[in-house]
A and B are shown apart, each in its own frame.
Chain A
Amino acid sequence: MKAWYAMLGIWMSAVIYEAFALPEIRGLVGHPIAYFHPPIAIVTFIAFLVAMIHGLRYLRWNDPIHDVKSSKAAEVGLLFCFLATVTGAMWSKANWGTFWSWDPKQTSIFVVLLIYAAYFSLRSSTPNPDRRHRLCAVYTVIGFISAVLLMFILPRIGFSLHPNDAMMGGGSDRPVRLLFWASVLGFSGVFAWMMELAVKLALMEMKIKEMSQ
């Protein structure tokens, strides 16, 4: 397990080094953030998906461990979501001149932030644990489906400044694309690591509570 963490550290350091070393992408100002902001935003959605899957598993098997996993995925996801919103606003200022313009992708990340916030206020206002697990699991499912619907709907009713092909598609050079996906992989690893730590901590807390009773 330790070897994995070491590899993750080396991988992320390499990604960060390469992000600053690669030449600027055509037509994109503030280029190093291009290798951090979109991957963080992608991981935000992955975190949400993980939270929903564990929520569904809780509903199916009724085991509190799934609720712990679901809520910790949401907790770490909230951190990523916050980072994605802030880096996005910074990059937007550098590239388009304003911090916020209600571009479809900005809107959807903002909505995901709202859903996470609602999720945690629901969590904190349900004292009965069994009820809390159940209601929160249901809310992750509804929230995720709604966010997916939003991502399909927004580009059709709004306008977009986001350069969709600049990084992922064929419009970019090979090293840019490679580094981009390497960064996505690296940030997913960071997410998995943080979530594992959080789950371990929560399980220990549960055990201590049991022992002290």
Chain B
Amino acid sequence: MTKSSLSGRKRNPSFWRSIGAIFGKDLASELRTRFAVNTLLLFSVTSLTIVSFSTARTPLTKEAQSALLWIVIFFSAMTGLARSFVREEESGTADALRLTAPAESVFLGKFAFNCVLLLCVEAVVVPLSLIFWAVSVDAPLFFTVVLFAGNIGLSAVATLMAAIVAQTSMQAGLFAVLSFPVLIPLLFTAVRATLLSMDAVRQVGEIAPVIRMLFVFDIVMLTLGFLLFDYIWRDRK
């Protein structure tokens, strides 16, 4: 029995295994250089410091706090996640990846890795901002769920757009331009939800719709990525 017939018979397990392999490969190369995680963390801490230093004398409203938190997270994602496919194209490993793995598992593997990267950033930025701005989060569980849901949507869109920009001639500048309009529904909802989680006076009926909207966005973008990624990833001719 040849190797190809073996992998052909068990298509499903190999699909999941290739997602894990791509995730593991990215994690290993990241742990070796720590390029993306360093850029992300330094950028987010720098921007957070600028914001909190320049507003130190004036107490921020809860609206401003939740908006600024998401602005910092958004721009950190925009600086750090752009490289995920550019790196593959530059080092010439993209073609090897095209040959060995199905497009869908490349998308999901990269998405999982970007998700983890962004989680690392949030793990630093969120506690720091809570300390700097003296925020009182009234509903910590709700707040965490919002962060997770926002993280999934941000990484899904960023993965798709990073794959698009990797094939264009001006990569870094285009990434934020392409991602921002697509992410606006998510960002608006996330800012609103964060505001609700900080606010002591809120109705229970207000929480369910925003959470539902966040997850609807996540699911729609993941589905779109799953369906359309093959068209971005492979040359037709």
Instruction: Give me the interface of A with B, judged by CB distance under 8 Å.
Output: 59, 62, 107, 111, 114-115, 117-118, 121-122, 125-128, 130-131, 134-135, 137-139, 141-143, 145-146, 149-150, 152-154, 156-158
Contact = CB atoms under 8 A, between A and B. Distances in A.
Nearest to B192: A157
A142 B210 contact: no
B177 A118 contact: yes
Nearest to B214: A153
B188 interface: yes
A128 B169 CA distance: 10
A157 B174 CA distance: 29
Given A111-B181, A114-B181, A122 B188 contact: no
**Interface core residue of A114, A128, A153 (most chain B CB under 10 Å):** A153
Contact of A130 (B157, B160, B235): B235
Contacts, number: 91
Contact of B224 (A117, A125, A130, A145): A145
Given A118-B177, A126-B168, A142-B224, A134 B213 contact: no
Interface residues on B, range: 20 to 34
Closest CB pairs A-B (n = 8) = A114-B181, A115-B181, A150-B185, A146-B182, A157-B192, A149-B185, A125-B170, A125-B168
Contacts of A141: 224, 228
A138 B231 contact: yes
A134 B232 contact: yes
Interface string B219-237: 0110010001001100111
Contacts of B177: 117-118, 121
Contacts of A117: 177
A126 B231 contact: no
13 contacts: A59-B231, A111-B184, A115-B182, A118-B181, A122-B174, A134-B231, A134-B236, A138-B164, A141-B228, A142-B182, A142-B221, A143-B182, A146-B184
A122 B178 contact: yes
Interface in B161-196: 164, 167-170, 174, 177-178, 180-185, 188-189, 192
A143 B181 contact: yes
Interface of B: 157, 160, 164, 167-170, 174, 177-178, 180-185, 188-189, 192, 209-210, 213, 216-217, 220-221, 224, 228, 231-232, 235-237
Contacts of A121: 174, 177-178
A157 B189 CA distance: 7
B182 A137 contact: no
Contact of A126 (B160, B167, B189): B167
Given A131-B235, A134-B236, A137-B231, A125 B169 contact: yes
Contacts of A125: 168-170, 174
A139 B225 CA distance: 11
B158 to A, nearest CB: 12
B95 to A, nearest CB: 15
Given A125-B168, A158-B188, 9 more contacts: A118-B177, A121-B174, A126-B168, A128-B167, A139-B178, A141-B224, A142-B160, A145-B220, A157-B188
A125 B221 CA distance: 24
A189 to B, nearest CB: 28
B237 A130 contact: yes
A149 B236 contact: no
A184 to B, nearest CB: 25
A124 B228 CA distance: 21
A135 B224 contact: no
A106 to B, nearest CB: 13
Contacts of B185: 146, 149-150, 153
B154 to A, nearest CB: 13
